[in-house]
Structure 1
Amino acid sequence: MEELLHNISQCTICKAHLPLGPRPVATAHINSKIVIIGQAPGTKVHESGIPWDDQSGKKLRQWLNVTDEQFYNTENFAIIPMGFCYPGKAKTGDLPPRPECAPQWHTPLLEKMPNVELIILVGAYAQKYYLKDKAKRTLTETVGEYKTYLPKYFPIPHPSPTNRFWRSKNPWFEELVVPKLRKRTSSILQST
């Protein structure tokens, strides 16, 4: 696993497309129990090199009801974005994750983690990639049907502050789905 993570940290596969240059951000451990597959690092995470080290991460940890210590313990959580480097700015938010990372690195990483009990799919890019034709027409429908994908996958929206309008239009997510996510996360983390 260390060698694989080292190889990822040296990756330059899409260097020509990265406005800030490559700085792959991913964490994993052979004993990881939960994998979080998000989009791609933002500028703050690009600078710090720490995944989910921003407002989105605070909200995600709140949804999971975990401490920073629990979240950054790689034996609890592996963090594997769809794109490992900051992809650049779009008109609203960031550009989509680069398409090279997931096909290149996800399978080798997941194969080295035999104890994974849950994969949390954060946002539409991860959901479409992993759920394929089982993903619903929209992220809202996919998240609403989260039970369909259990016990392996748990689709959630992106916790970004730019997504606050989606959350205000869909209060059922935080009222009904987040408690189920917390319960599932807690039961996995307590099973050691």
Structure 2
Amino acid sequence: MSGGADTLDTLLARIDRCRLCASSMPHTPRPVLRAHADARLLVVGQAPGRKVHESGVPWDDASGRRLREWMGIDSDTFYDASRVAIVPMGFCYPGKAGSGDAPPRPECRATWHPQLLPLLPNVELTLLIGQYAQAHFLGRRRKGSLTATMRAWREYLPTHLPLPHPSPRNVAWFKANPWFEGEVLPTLRERVGGLWRNAGHHPDAGAT
């Protein structure tokens, strides 16, 4: 294993033991993420939900099934860390707030992102899922709302592609914005599939 891989493995082990925000969490922290130096695709979401917190498997819920359908890949491909790195804005389930989950804790972005992301040198496309990821990665290029950012999605290619959160709670948004399915998803599937075609891999289409 190369020195770079050793560095990434060591960092992931440190993240797994992280307890920076333990005193502010309603439960024992359980960081959930995946990363490999060979990954060409980076998925940045908000933070794990309760089900993912319990299973320890990222996007192991209805939102994850819809996301894989959007991407046009199966579970084996999605969970192959050498292809897809999964690094949310917050690594642990932040608990509930009102009718939904609390925002991702800021400690992960501030402490671990600056160390982890440079160790993913082969990432060609980053999917920015939801407002927190878009605010951090796009900065001033982000528009005034998620919908406005999504309508400007072409501006962020080829390195970034913003997406709404695939939560079932956002079904009304999907219905109100049919252009997303008609315009964005075909490009998403083409870009994702092209990452591995160029590398000699051919992931199966269709989520499982």
| TM-score bucket of the superposed structures, by smaller chain | over 0.9
CA apart distance, 1:75: 1.0
CA apart distance, 1:103: 1.5
The percentage of counterpart residues that share the same residue type is 49
- For 1:9, the equivalent position in structure 2 comes to 16
- For 2:56, the equivalent position in structure 1 comes to 49
Q: Deviations over 1:23-59 (max 9, x none)?
A: 0001000101000000000010000000000000000
TM-score (norm: length of structure 1): 0.98
1:73-152 counterparts in 2 under 5 A? Answer: 73-152=80-159
CA distance in structure 1 between the aligned counterparts of 2:181 and 2:12, rounded to whole angstroms: 34
- Match of residue 63, structure 1, among 70, 80, 85: 70
Q: Deviations over 1:9-33 (max 9, x none)?
A: 0011111121122000010001010
- For 2:37, the equivalent position in structure 1 comes to 30
CA distance in structure 2 between the aligned counterparts of 1:187 and 1:5, rounded to whole angstroms: 28
Amino acid at match of 1:44: K
CA distance in structure 2 between the aligned counterparts of 1:31 and 1:109, rounded to whole angstroms: 13
Task: Tell whether the 8 Å contact from 1:93 to 1:162 is kept in structure 2 after alignment.
Answer: no
Aligned-CA RMSD value: 0.8
How many pairs were matched up?
A: 192
CA apart distance, 1:149: 0.7
* Secondary structure of 1:100 counterpart: helix
CA distance in structure 2 between the aligned counterparts of 1:107 and 1:150, rounded to whole angstroms: 22
- For 2:198, the equivalent position in structure 1 comes to 191
- For 2:181, the equivalent position in structure 1 comes to 174
CA apart distance, 1:92: 2.1
- For 1:157, the equivalent position in structure 2 comes to 164
Amino acid at match of 2:9: E
CA distance in structure 1 between the aligned counterparts of 2:23 and 2:72, rounded to whole angstroms: 38
CA distance in structure 2 between the aligned counterparts of 1:47 and 1:128, rounded to whole angstroms: 28
* Secondary structure of 1:27 counterpart: coil
Task: Give the greater-gyration-radius structure (CA).
Answer: 2
